[in-house]
């Protein structure tokens, strides 16, 4: 659930920024999506490692 929220927040934030700047190509949507994916994976791995201590 936490991973999904992080990814959705990244996509939504990038989408809104692209919309506000009036860009024809969704540059910030792509960038924020990729960053959110890496952040979500980091959080998931960190939580997994904490559970196994």
Q: What is the pLDDT of residue 52?
A: 82
Residue 13 structural domain: 2-48
The whole-model pTM stands at 0.86
Specify if 32 maps to a domain. yes
Among 16, 10, 1, 2, smallest CA distance to 37 is for 10
Specify if 43 maps to a domain. yes
Secondary structure (DSSP) of the chain:
-HHHHHHHHHHHHHHHHHHHHT-SS-HHHHHHHHHHHHHHHHHHHHHHHHHT-
pLDDT in tens, 15-48: 999 999 999 999 999 999 999 999 999 999 999 9
Specify if 53 maps to a domain. no
């Amino acid at each position: 659930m936490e991973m999904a929220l992080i990814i959705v927040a990244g996509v939504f934030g990038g989408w809104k920024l692209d919309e506000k700047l009036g860009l024809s190509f969704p540059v910030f949507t792509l960038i924020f999506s990729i960053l959110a994916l890496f952040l979500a994976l980091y959080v998931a791995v960190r939580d997994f490692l904490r559970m196994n201590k």
